[in-house]
Amino acid sequence: MFRKLTLAAAAASLATAGLAADLPSKKSVAAPAADEASAIHGFMDIGYANGRVTGGGFPLYKSGAVLMQSDMGVAVDLYKSKTGFINSVSAFAGVWAESLNNPGAGYKRMQEYDWWAGASIGFADYFKLTAQSLQFQLQSTEIANPKPQAVVKNATVTLAYDDAHLGLPIALNPSVTVFYNLDGGVSAMGWGKTDTYRVDLAIAPGYSFQKSMGVPLSISVPTSVSLGPTNMYYLASYKGCGAAATGVKGVGTVCSTNTFEMFSTGLQAKYDLGQFVPKKFGAWSLKAGVQYYQLLSDAVKANQGGTVASRKSNSTIISAGLGVSF
């Protein structure tokens, strides 16, 4: 964390030394001013996972995948107030990358990298509104026949509520996010739609064992349900369902759709390494978790291609990693 250095102590020391011969008694030296809190914050994480399910309900990798995922970001506090209706304003940006450690012969390790930038406004003490631009850079993984990079442009708006002040045994931390696809299609598949949206309703109940047991361990249970237009991820001309479906556009029958697209819940744990790493080097932690995804719409499942029987209805993702923030 960046901090300003104060010259008060040094100045006082020099003054005392210069006057020592003339003073009959010792004079107290003024205490140095407290360091001003940094307005710049950042984080960096690196970890591994056995797969990934997109926010749109698309399982990207086959069983046995080993993914390395890393991200980093920075935020700048532009305004803070404890008394006004607007409590804080900050701007932020970050990048994320994913590589496949076992891609197979003829394929690249690098799979995707994304970037985001946006701003957050805290208001009414317990609410935060966040808006950001989010861009997916889907890499061509074939070595011999590379394809042009696919770019998916999105925008998100999230309203979050901090309910810890209610004094409940466990805070729920509810939020609602509107995800809007601007260009490129919300699915990597050929029938992915552009200029559409989804709504994610989420809670993240959490508990810290630091106060009750003195253990620097915290857990959370991130749980969400995704909703959207019944045709959000699906073009009726694709069809893609029924016994005749093969994943080829136009083969099969029209899939049934559902406003509820996906449900997810899991358990995430974070262990603070502050007892091993001094705080001046940042707040380091170990992270691990398991997340379950259940697809709720046949149209969403159809994005996987293939026959109906070959499509996944659910996925379980296990992850672990190391992170630092400042």
- 244, 205: one domain: yes
Q: pTM value?
A: 0.84
- 126, 242: one domain: yes
> Is there a contact between 44 and 324 (Cβ–Cβ < 8 Å)?
yes
- 7, 141: one domain: no
Residues 37-76 pLDDT 10s: 899 999 999 999 999 998 888 898 888 899 999 999 999 9
Residues 65-115 pLDDT 10s: 999 999 999 999 999 999 999 999 999 999 999 999 988 888 889 999 999
Phi, psi of 160 (to 5 degrees): -120, 150
Based on the structure, what is the number of domains in the chain? 2
- 146, 5: one domain: no
Distance CA 116, CA 154 (A): 9
- 124, 166: one domain: yes
- 33, 49: one domain: no
From the CB of residue 50, how many other CB atoms can be counted at a distance below 10 Å?
16
Average pLDDT, integer, range 309-314: 91
Residues 279-308 pLDDT 10s: 999 999 999 999 999 999 888 888 888 888
Residue 233 has pLDDT above 70, yes or no: no
3-state secondary structure of 78: strand
- 100, 248: one domain: yes
* Domain encompassing residue 13: 1-38
Reference 262, options 153, 205, 187, 320; nearest CA is 187
- 219, 197: one domain: yes
- 119, 148: one domain: yes
